[in-house]
Amino acid sequence: MDKNFNNEMRLEFLSKSNNEAFARMAVAAFASQLDPTIEELADIKTAVSEAVTNSIIHGYEDNIGMVTIYAKLQENKITIEVSDSGKGIENIDIAKQPLYTTKPNLERSGMGFTIMESFMDEIYIESILGLGTKITMKKKIKSHKENTEDYSASVLRG
């Protein structure tokens, strides 16, 4: 693969829950240019799903607005920004705590940020009350050589 591989994309859609799957698949298709493993692709899809769902459910609540995804490929890394112009997050530190939710009546676990953090290498959250939220996530895609070495080492360890 070209070591100076760069590409980017932008996607905007209405904050309707049926657009979450579309967003997840669009980012996965874009990320596939880096030739990720099935596991790496699943991690990206899950993180995007959580970020988009947060924008729809928490950012806009019962209103409809736009959710924007900007993704960038640089060498073997993908950076994904999911942003909205919703109500914003009052306290990011509290919102990041596992099981914290502002919607206890929904069948949600309050694990969105925890899931994003566990599946991506880096996550940054910026939010301003009344203006919206931007979640930036980054993940390094290992080369097939690195994945083969990891697999071989795990087989040898038994």
Q: Indicate which residues carry an active-site annotation.
A: 50, 54, 108
Tokens standing for 49?
């799903």
Task: Please identify which residue in the block is written with the tokens 């083969």.
Answer: 148
Task: Please identify which residue in the block is written with the tokens 């859609």.
Answer: 13
Tokens standing for 158?
């038994």
- DSSP 3-state of 70: strand
Query: What's the rounded Cα separation, in Å, for the pair 106 and 30?
Result: 31
Beta-bridge mates of residue 107 = none
Helical H segments across 32-88, by residue range = 38-54
Query: What's the rounded Cα separation, in Å, for the pair 83 and 73?
Result: 18
